[in-house]
Amino acid sequence: MKQIRISINGTEYHVAEHSNLAAVLMDKAIANRRSVTGEPRMAVCGMGSCGECRVTINQQAHQLACLQQCYEGMEVDCEP
């Protein structure tokens, strides 16, 4: 499968083209946001209903990682 480059929080990663972004975040153990108490959060439902996987993609906030395929040059920013 073709490998592409994406950026997550400023770090470059090589991933399979068309990989699911939420799966990539989980594989790399990257929390996409924090709860109100500061706990790291990741995708829960995997189908766009819960909103736990919200990230910023190419400066567009509130994108659901579980519904996104990775593509060359994608820039993902997760909540610190």
Question: What span, in angstroms and rounded, lies between the C-alpha atoms of 33 and 42?
Answer: 7
Q: Which domain holds residue 62?
A: 3-77
Quick: pLDDT tens for 37-68: 988 888 888 888 888 899 999 999 999 999 99
- SS3 of 64, please? strand
pLDDT band (50, 70, 90) for residue 78: very high
Give the domain CATH number at 12.
3.10.20.30
pLDDT band (50, 70, 90) for residue 80: low
Count structural domains, the chain. 1
**Entry pTM:** 0.90
- Cβ(21)–Cβ(55) below 8 Å: yes
Quick: pLDDT tens for 30-39: 998 888 898 8
